[in-house]
Amino acid sequence: MEAEQLSVKKRSLEGSSSARRMRGAGRLPGVIYGTGSEPAAIEVETHAVEQVLHHHQSEMILIDIDLEGEGKVSVLLKDVQHHPVTGALVHVDLQRVSANETLQVEVPLELVGEPEGVKAGGLLDHVMHGILVECLPADLPETVDVDVSALNIGDSLHVSDVVVGDKVTVITDADAMVASVAAPKVADEDEDVAEEGAEPEVITEKPSEE
């Protein structure tokens, strides 16, 4: 994964009121941590983070930041928090990474293709949406594609079937199911017969008594 670029400033003021003022000024509060360093409060331009996210399928992104007082630092965009109603960015977590040290990250799984079983009327069940992998930062995949086009009704794919490349180690249990194709749900035949043979109830209006 090729690293993005961002300019990040350290901030001394913390708390909800300070964070609200920061967002109002177009800047995003966050924290940076990892590799033996104390966690530090930071701020970054909201638009710059939005641009980075816009060009990626996943929010788990490698970034080379220009950190005030330290210079160039490699980080992983570890967590992005959104407003529950508006969806606007409200906070970011950055994890320091070393080019020579492996890291464990959950990578999203993207199902690719239309299963043969779905063409025949079956239902695709996307069971697992991400797998835990270990690799060097430069080898971290943004997403992992899983080809499901060959699945027929009754077939399933497991983590052991996922192809990630020689430089990436999968940590997730190899026997865990990723996706399957189930037969279409058919109504019980006896219920259908009963419904077809049932006599409709006739409701007559009770004559009025004079």
Predicted confidence pLDDT, tens digits, the chain (210 residues)? 556 778 888 887 666 777 888 888 889 999 999 877 888 899 999 999 998 888 887 777 888 888 888 888 899 988 899 999 999 999 999 999 998 999 999 999 999 999 999 999 999 999 999 999 999 998 999 899 999 999 999 999 999 999 998 999 999 999 999 999 999 887 655 555 555 555 555 555 555 554
Could you tell me the CATH number of the domain that includes residue 47?
2.40.240.10
In terms of Cα–Cα distance, which of 152, 56, 46 is closest to 91? 46
Structure tokens at 152: 């027929």
Which amino acid appears at position 91 of this protein? H
- The pTM of this model reads 0.74
Could you tell me the CATH number of the domain that includes residue 117?
2.170.120.20
Last residue of a domain, one of 70, 97, 124: 97
Cα(32)–Cα(188) distance, integer angstroms: 57
In a domain? residue 181: yes
pLDDT in tens, 147-173: 999 999 999 999 999 999 899 999 999
What is the count of structural domains for the chain?
A: 2
Do residues 89 and 111 share a domain?
no
Place of tokens 């399933």: 156
Q: How many CB atoms lie within 10 A of CB 75?
A: 27
Do residues 55 and 140 share a domain?
no
Structure tokens at 165: 């490349």
Do residues 89 and 108 share a domain?
no
Query: Under 8 Å CB-to-CB from 113, ≥6 apart: which residues?
Result: 147, 148, 149
Angle, vertex CA 18, rays to CA 12 and CA 20, nearest 5? 145
Last residue of a domain, one of 60, 81, 97: 97
Residue 52 structural domain: 4-97
pLDDT at site 196? 58
